[in-house]
Amino acid sequence: MKVSNEDKALIGVGGAGLLVLYLLWRKKQNEQKDDELANYVPELEESTPTSIGSGSKPTQGATLDRNKLLKFGSKGLEVRELQRLLNVKIDGDFGKITLTALQNAKGVSETSLNAFATILKKKLRNHYQK
């Protein structure tokens, strides 16, 4: 079977097109991985406080205080978790960007992680009841 030059050109163009599509797909996959790494906040184990002289070692690692009031100027792990939930830059510092995102998302300027979750659940429940 003889393949014409036109068919060879079409096969070449098709192959090049598939290669371009593959490279674009790979680029998008890498960007998604980079986004996931940038917003990664490790899950922290809840530790139990120990009394002095009890002989037991406290568990290592930090814990989130989900009832801590977070507002402009707050810093720490709780702020990092709130920033992750708001999908903003995670730096652990409750600044103007975090404040604006919180006001846009929830209409409040201060919250705790528990209150944030409660507000989110209420909004979702109201949205699906309509």
Q: Which of 27, 43, 31, 48 is nearest to 77 (CA)?
A: 43
- Tokens for 77? 């792990």
**40-89 pLDDT per residue, tens:** 555 544 444 444 444 444 455 668 888 899 999 999 899 998 898 888 99
Q: What is the pLDDT of residue 38?
A: 59
Tell me the mean pLDDT in the region 28-41.
Answer: 67
Euclidean distance between CA atoms 77 and 28, whole angstroms: 30
Q: What is the pLDDT of residue 36?
A: 64
The residues facing 70 across adjacent strands are 111
Q: What share of the chain is helix, strand, coil (3-state, %, to 5)?
A: 55, 5, 40
- Most distant CA atoms of the chain, gap in Å: 89
Which is more confident, 22 or 122? 22
Q: What is the pTM of this model?
A: 0.48
- Tokens for 109? 């300027």
The pLDDT > 90 percentage for the chain reads 15
Domain boundaries, the chain: 1-38, 77-129
